[in-house]
Chains A and B, each alone.
Chain A
């Protein structure tokens, strides 16, 4: 298990244990964490698992693919560090990853 830290829009910190290989979206929705939906279950068709990657971690992630960028343009309040968290796979290298959630997914 690796650590995933999700900070919700109110600033509350949720420390989750995530299985390597599991996506950030799945790890968060498994816990029924509010503020993240993941409506489509990870098939890149809803843009409701939107999160902001902590600046310190940005360079350690693979850049988003074309389909993710296309769907990301559908999300609300998008920033340069925005990602669809169903596309971020947890791994040893991402142990301690910090993701902030937007005020709303839609």
Chain B
């Protein structure tokens, strides 16, 4: 299996880590094209693999491999801090984002601003524009009988919508996408400092301009927000807006890619949704359980024993959301897609105070997309002879998905 070269240093195994818990797992490795993204992550749940493993890759860190622990760790900010949300840890010195890297109580005032910006009310108001944009993108290529789904649809819908919400020109999406990718899937072409500077050079002039001439966009709302009674500083506004950009640009895209790859290959599932669009809302729930793709670390706050494992203050634990919805301890036959499944707790959007504030927007986009696509292009396949391309990292994503259909 051809794997890319290591981008970041390997660490020595610390004394408190038992040898039987050590494995070699590189979050940023890019396995060969025929590997299934979810099965790749699920190897961490293979028989005999401990519930917590430790890898020397990317500076050395634990990985929580089981759903219940994953949920607990996301939700328990008293024992697991968010102060490092990137691996390896030194990248957090160059790239600082709010409110993701703050623990309570400092987290709350920033989060409150985001809650309002992405609220149920706001998302409901956005529905008509989501639908309009979805239809116009699909109609742009429908008669042609083929498209490259990632670049011609998945990357355009969430990004165009989001750039509209923050009132930035849609043309800037490639630049912002490229920078976001270096945060979530660094390839060694830019240092973390260069990535941060790239965002800074782009965002800071925009924010200063909005501070002077506020509009009704999300960034202006943030700038007007109060942080425990004082105005937000420019540096805070930058880190907050950068986080919202990265999170908004690089996630729905990925879920869209994985679910279309699935529907292209599974005609029966597709037909169920075409025949009865009322199945689409439960299908969106099931897809979100089945296609989780974010893996973020937490930092252990105090020496402690957790689930029989000894953790030391400062230990990093990677908490892959992938491994909750796909855990057979939580869901029977987890790799099967079943629109009738009773779906309880999973961690696709995280848990606790940092739980994704964009989840309603994401759900609305996925539902509207399926409604509009399946009524227009009910049957489609992956172009024969082509293999879709998937990228691994903090957020997994599909970058090449050539689809064909009869016109």
Contacts and interface: CB of A to CB of B under 8 A. Distances in A.
> Do A and B share a complex?
yes
B120 A105 contact: yes
B87 to A, nearest CB: 25
Given A70-B112, A74-B115, A106-B360, A45 B353 contact: yes
A46 B121 contact: no
A45 B358 CA distance: 11
Interface stretch (A5-13, A35-43, A86-94): A35-43
B115 A45 contact: yes
B131 interface: no
A80 B124 CA distance: 20
Contact of A39 (B124, B349, B353): B349
Chain A CB within 10 Å — which of B116, B119, B124, B349 has the most? B119
Given A43-B352, A106-B123, A106-B360, A32 B116 contact: no
A41 B359 CA distance: 13
Interface residues on B, range: 20 to 34
A71 B364 contact: no
Contact of A46 (B115, B124, B342): B115
A46 B117 CA distance: 11
A82 interface: no
Contact of B357 (A41, A46, A106): A46
Nearest to A70: B112
Contacts of A106: 120-121, 123-124, 360, 363-364
A105 B324 CA distance: 25
B121 A48 contact: no
A74 B119 contact: yes
Contact of A76 (B124, B342, B355): B124
Contacts of A41: 75, 351-352, 355
Interface residues of A, number: 18
Contacts of B342: 32
A75 interface: yes
Contacts of A47: 115, 119-120
B344 A32 contact: yes
A46 B356 CA distance: 9
Contact of B360 (A48, A50, A70, A71): A48
B120 A48 contact: yes
Contacts of A45: 111-112, 115, 353, 355, 357
B343 interface: yes
B121 A74 contact: yes
A69 B309 CA distance: 41
A37 to B, nearest CB: 9
Given A41-B351, A45-B357, A75 B112 contact: no
Interface in B317-364: 342-344, 349, 351-353, 355, 357, 359-360, 363-364
A39 B115 contact: no
A75 B351 CA distance: 20
Contacts of B123: 106
B111 A75 contact: no
A105 B360 CA distance: 10
Contacts of B344: 32
B353 A75 contact: no
A41 B353 CA distance: 9
Nearest to B114: A45
A104 B363 CA distance: 13
Contacts of A40: 355
B120 A76 contact: yes
B360 A39 contact: yes
Across the A-B interface, the 9 shortest Cβ-Cβ residue pairs: A74-B119, A106-B120, A106-B360, A45-B115, A76-B120, A106-B123, A40-B355, A43-B353, A76-B124
5 contacts: A41-B75, A41-B352, A48-B360, A50-B120, A75-B120
Given A41-B352, A43-B352, A75-B121, 4 more contacts: A39-B355, A74-B122, A104-B124, A106-B120
Interface of A: 32, 39-41, 43, 45-48, 50, 70-71, 74-76, 104-106
